[in-house]
Amino acid sequence: MEYLKAFLVGGLICMAAQILMEKTKLMPGRIMVLLVCTGAVLGALQIYEPLLDFAGSGASVPLTGFGYNLWKGIKEAIDNDGMIGLFRGGFKMAAVGTSAALIFAYLASLVFQPKMAK
């Protein structure tokens, strides 16, 4: 049942992003920023954490989960360190995911020999 919940919630988030891509004139980068900001806002409104408890990876893997992670890190850092946490917290919470994405993207570029578009 866990897999089904994760699949449904993750699928709904991705479906919403796909609808935005196809039905609006928003560029993909702006849609990505919108998803990250949505996760942060839903985290601040205390809506995203129950969704994470319900769906697990279905809610934590999409970009909205990244936004929630940034918000959570900033909130914890502000609680512990004051206003300097505003600048430090997001980096601390998202460092592992961002590092993994960079490392795996680099490895993929070595394996598949990407070419620049002309």
- Position with higher pLDDT, 87 vs 80: 80
Q: Which pLDDT tens digit goes with each residue over 101-111?
A: 889 989 998 88
Residue 6 has pLDDT above 90, yes or no: yes
The reported pLDDT for the residue numbered 83 is 86
Q: What is the mean pLDDT of the chain?
A: 88
Q: How confident is the model at residue 91 (pLDDT cuts 50, 70, 90)?
A: confident
What span, in angstroms and rounded, lies between the C-alpha atoms of 55 and 71? 19
CB 43 within 8 A of CB 94: no
What span, in angstroms and rounded, lies between the C-alpha atoms of 116 and 49? 40
The reported pLDDT for the residue numbered 11 is 92
Find the largest Cα–Cα distance for the chain: 49
Residue 113 has pLDDT above 80, yes or no: no
Query: What percentage of the chain has pLDDT greater than the value 90?
Result: 42
Residue 46 has pLDDT above 90, yes or no: yes
- Using only the alpha carbons of the chain, give its radius of gyration: 16
- Give the mean pLDDT of 27-40: 91
Q: How confident is the model at residue 86 (pLDDT cuts 50, 70, 90)?
A: confident
